[in-house]
Every structure is written in C-alpha cells, then in structure tokens.
Copies of this chain bind each other. A is one copy, B any other.
Amino acid sequence: MSFGPDCFTPMSRLAGTCYYEGIMISQTAISHLVEKLGRSNVLHEKEDLLTLAFDATPGLNLLPDVVVYPTTTDHVLTAMGIAHREGLPLVPRGSGTGLSGGSVPAKGGMVLAMTRMNRILEIDEANLTATAETGVITLDLFNAVAEKGLFYPPDPGSQKISTLGGNVMEDAGGLRGLKYGVTRDYVMALKCVLPDGSIITTGGKSVKDVAGYSFKDLLVGSEGTLGIITEVTVKLIPPPQDKRTFLAYFDDIRVAGEAVSKIIAAKIIPSTMEIMDRATINCVEDYVKIGLPRQMAALLLIEVDGHPAMVAEDAEGVQKILKQVKATEVHVAKDADEAASLAAARRTALSALARVSPTTLLEDATVPRSRLAETFAEIGRLTEKYKLKVGTFGHAGDGNLHPTVLCDERDLDEMERAHAFYDELYEKVLAWGGTVSGEHGIGLAKKEYLARQIGEGGVRVMKRIKHAFDPEGILNPGKIFEDEDLSTRSYKEDGSRVSP
C-alpha cells in the first residue's frame, strides 16, 4: 500500500491526489454482489471507479475497489456481509457534495452509492412527517412537501444536488439554520443497517422518545462510521406565511458582524443572515452578474419570515439596527423573484470563488455570534500576515463562516502559508469557545483540528463508541479520527477473511 504523504492532514496541506493500493476485492465477492444487486448496480472497472473517487473537497482523490448502488435495505445488508467477509472498507456516499472528504474512500474498499434509493415513501400530513430513502435529493424532498403545504427547513448550500442521507450523516446546516436549526433538528427516525448485521429503526413519528440512549442523535453527524442509514423520517412544519429580504452593504466587515450581533440581541431571529466579503462579492458578481456593488467591504443577506404582522415588525427592527450601525446602503427585495435571485447568488459563493484559482481551500470555522466582529478582524489580520487571497462568506447569524483561501496547490510555499493561516485562526476560534466544524464535518480533512477541540480524551471516547458499533473497523475507516489500519487484512479466494 501507499499513501501520498499528505493525504490525511488539513486541506491546506493537501497537494495532489493519492491512491490507496492496499485492498483488492475477490472475484467471488464481485460475482456475489452482481448476483444479489444486479449487474447495473455493481461497478468495478477503473474508469467507472474514477468518478466516485472524490467529493467536493479539493485535493482528495482516492479510488475505491468497487462501487455498488443498493436499491433496497437488503442490498445494503448484503454489501455489509461481503465487506465483513472480505475485510473491505464500506464507504457510504450520497451525491458527493461533502466538504471534508467524508465520503472519499480513504482506504479503498466498497463505495455504497445511495443515490438510487431515492424514493419519497410517505408524506404524513396528520403527523407532519415525511419518510424517504436516503438517496433522495434534498430539494426534491423540500418541493414534494411544499406541494402539500408543508415545510422542510434544512437547506444546505448544495440542496439541489445533495442527498438527505448525506445531510443526516454530516448534520448539514444551511441558509435557514439561524431560525430553523440544522438537519439534526428535523430527524425523527432512521432505518439503519448496523455493522453487526442487524437492521434497526431508531426513533419514530412520536415527537417525544426517551427510551434508552438516543441512537438517532448519535448517528446524525456520524459521517457513515457507525451504520448505514437507508430511510429517514423527518419532521415537517407549517411554512412561513410571509418573508422579507434585504441586502445590506458595509464599508467595514466588522460593522456587518456588529449588525448581526445587535439584531440577535434585539431578540429578532431572522431566518437567514448570510455574509459575503468583498472578494466573494466580486467573484459572485463576475459569475452571476446581478449588479452587486464591487467596492463594498461586505454584504449581509437578511431574510425575516413568519406571520405577516411579525415579519413587518421584524423588518422594521432590522432596518432600524442597520441604520444605527451605519450600514452604507440597504436594499429591500421588491418581490419574491428578486429575493430568490439574491439567495441563489449567495448559494453560488463557493463555485464563484472556486472559478478564480486552481485550488480553493474552504474552512468551516464557527464562533459564538458575539465573536463575529472579532473573527472578521482576525481573518483580515491573518490574510495580511500570510499574504494570501481569502474570500469569506457564510452563515453569519450562526457564527458559521467559510473563510476560503484561493491558492494554487502547486505552490508549496503558498500552501504552507494557507495551513498556517487556518492553524492560527482555529487557535482563536477555539479560545473563543467556537468549533472547527459548524456544518461540514471532520471527515478526512480536519482530523488534526478535532483533537485540538475535544482533546485526546474526547477522541479516545469517540474511538470507543466507534468500536462499540463497528469492532472490525469496516465502516468508512480513516474518518473523524485515525482508526484501526485495515491494510494488514487479506482474504482467501473463497471470500472468507484471514484474521490478521
């Protein structure tokens, strides 16, 4: 086996691609998979495998040995059995929009692409729930429940492509998180295949459930390392009846941070308070051309929603605060179409930034909201100190920022500076009680930071939990923390495993 030397370090250290060469799958296992899942659901030619060797995280490209597309929970169980017999890593994957390498097959093995399990099984209007297979596209679910007059709030930036299962495994956030919370807040039940070969359903349509440890809450955000979820039941709520959208521009990004803190402190909870700095504004404007003012230091996209009377009051409150802090300009969207196009422009931020440099290193720093202005100041200071090009955008209302270094992975000196930039930034973020990941997960790219946040003791307990679920270390190995190395595993021709 061989790893590229820098594969499992923070993104800023990742340069080039690397391949894991330690695992091969037996012909017996391939035949078994084909027999059980059907030929079209099993891919093992290199040209097929290449397309599933990465997610949306830059610099990570690791080949699986085989890719299977289960279409039933039983297919997943079959794959789990074969993975155990062969000592093969099993790596679940949605659409691959993840931003920390969570679904990249770090140690080769079998990728379980869940995208063909994409049926919406039920929308239960009496209990306000929806049940869907994990491969359903987030926006498809949103639209299906909207047709029934209901609302599924979580809206990750990638909602047009991302899957519900991927959202659950990373506990994805989104633009509406400030008021409505994140994916975790809507998961009511999970159907899950555990490594020991049992199929469990944890949670249900009851809105309260305290029967033992909450597997459901442990599985949410577990990045495919504890079980493979096949069905998800989510909570729905009545949709907001009204919405008002603003764009506020600022000469100084710290003032934007101050505005956010003041709005919250005034007990106004907008559904959305998104920020873009000057670099991001310019990249977005280059991309979508909707007339954003290029000279501004920052903009806030603010949406208030709910009952029309409350929306009117909140809108007034927000405008008053924006005036108080001396926002340079406040633009009110004239109608729903304009509001939608402003939100869509914000959603392009990452793509827009990614267009302008060979490498885009995106981070997910999150601080208590009261620290926003300081965080912007710190990002500014570090950008200068390390002579980098940085675009920052994100969910300001949640204190969840995506400072993005625009660089070139071939420039090793620049990559080192980028690493130092994040390193120093996270030191402050952690000192302020923040987190190294607000919504992207730890995956492969952020393992080094995790220990700094939760300590070696915390990592130790996580490993023990992992071991409790998956003693063989089959599920998505190498993610969140270093786990048992599978490289010493091998198998016999009959498909049975040789114990190390």
Asked if A149 is at the interface (CB within 8 A of a chain B CB), the reply is yes
Binds B, one of A51-59, A83-91, A192-200, A336-344: A192-200
Nearest-neighbor residue (CB-CB) of A172 within chain B: B210
Which residues of the other chain, B, contact A268 by a CB distance below 8 angstroms? Answer: 238
A1 proximal to B (CB < 8 A): no
Within 8 A of B (CB), among A101-118: none
Determine the distance from Cα of A31 to Cα of B369 in the docked complex, in whole angstroms: 47
Question: In the complex the two chains form, what is the Cα distance from A212 to B454 in whole Å?
Answer: 9
A476 at the interface (CB under 8 A from B): no
New A-B pairs, 7, CB < 8 Å, besides A202-B458, A206-B400, A213-B465: A126-B368, A170-B210, A206-B398, A208-B366, A211-B436, A214-B217, A214-B220
Q: How far is the CA of A455 from the CA of B267 in the complex (A)?
A: 45
| Minimum CB–CB distance for A429 against chain B, Å | 9
| Nearest-neighbor residue (CB-CB) of A150 within chain B | B267
Residues A168-217 near B (CB distance < 8 A): 170-171, 173, 177-178, 182, 184-185, 194, 196, 198, 200, 202, 204-215, 217
Of A303-311, A325-333, A384-392, which stretch is located at the interface? Answer: A303-311
Closest 3 CB pairs of A and B: A309-B309, A217-B217, A464-B468
Q: Are the C-beta atoms of A218 and B214 separated by less than 8 Å?
A: yes
Which chain B residues lie closer than 8 Å to A211 at the CB level?
435-437, 442, 446, 449-450, 453-454
Bound-state CA distance A173–B171 (Å) is 24
- A51-106 with Cβ < 8 A to chain B: none
When distances are taken between beta carbons in the complex, the residues of chain B under 8 Å from A462 are 212-213, 215
Shortest distance between the CB of A11 and any CB in chain B (Å): 15
6 pairs, A vs B, C-beta closer than 8 Å: A124-B370, A150-B267, A206-B438, A211-B442, A212-B480, A467-B468
Task: Select A307's contact among B194, B196, B264, B309, beta carbons within 8 Å.
Answer: B309
Give the docked Cα–Cα distance between A265 and B150 (Å): 10
B261-A126 in contact (CB<8A): yes
A210, B440: Cβ atoms closer than 8 Å: yes
> Could you tell me if B269 and A238 are in contact, using CB atoms closer than 8 angstroms?
yes
| CB atoms of B209 and A399 under 8 A apart | no
Whether the pair A265, B126 counts as a contact (CB closer than 8 A) is yes
Q: Does A5 contact B (CB under 8 A)?
A: no
Q: Which B residues are in CB contact (< 8 Å) with A437?
A: 209-211
Q: Is A49 an interface residue (CB 8 A)?
A: no
Q: Closest residue to A311 on the B side, CB-wise?
A: B307
CA distance A480 to B128 in the complex (A): 30
> Is B307's CB under 8 angstroms from A126's CB?
no
A404 CB-CB contact with B under 8 Å: no
Q: Is A20 an interface residue (CB 8 A)?
A: no
**Which residues of the other chain, B, contact A313 by a CB distance below 8 angstroms?**
307
